[in-house]
Amino acid sequence: MKISIEGIKEKDFIVDTEDSLTMKLSMLFEGHCTIGVQEAIKKYNYSEQRYYQLLTKYLDGGSDALIDKKPGPDKQTIRTKEVTNQIIRLRFLDPLASADVISQKLSQIGYKVSKRSVERTMTE
């Protein structure tokens, strides 16, 4: 689907609805400069709350702040396959070792893993 931004010289600017950044910017431009907030949120199918969230993001960080981020955690997981294998190896070598001891051993060989992460791995 496409949305048309009406121009003053009888030329409209066509916006592809699949382009989320352009949609957000267009809504903000039209809401702020031409048709008003209420008409813009109806036209672009956003809530008023979301409009103002996007406006705040834009004012704080420009158009880069409006780019959709990929879903999921921002940082990499601590329990990588290598760390998981080390936990299993240490547990196999010493079945009576506690999660605290295994965590300390991992720390000594260069892996920063919390006791809780070791407990989770052992439970799984």
Task: For residue range 29-71, list pLDDT tens digits in order.
Answer: 888 888 889 998 998 888 999 999 999 998 888 888 888 887 7
What is the spatial distance between Cα 22 and Cα 58, in angstroms, rounded to a whole number? 12
| Every domain of the chain and the residues it spans | 2-66, 81-123
Q: Which two tokens stand for residue 69?
A: 């981020």
What's the pLDDT at 69? 81
Query: Do 118 and 103 touch, CB atoms closer than 8 A?
Result: yes
- The string of pLDDT tens digits covering residues 79-104 is 788 888 888 888 888 888 888 888 88
Burial 30-60, CB ≥16 within 10 A → b, else e: bbeeebebeebbebbebeeeebeebbebbee
Entry pTM: 0.52
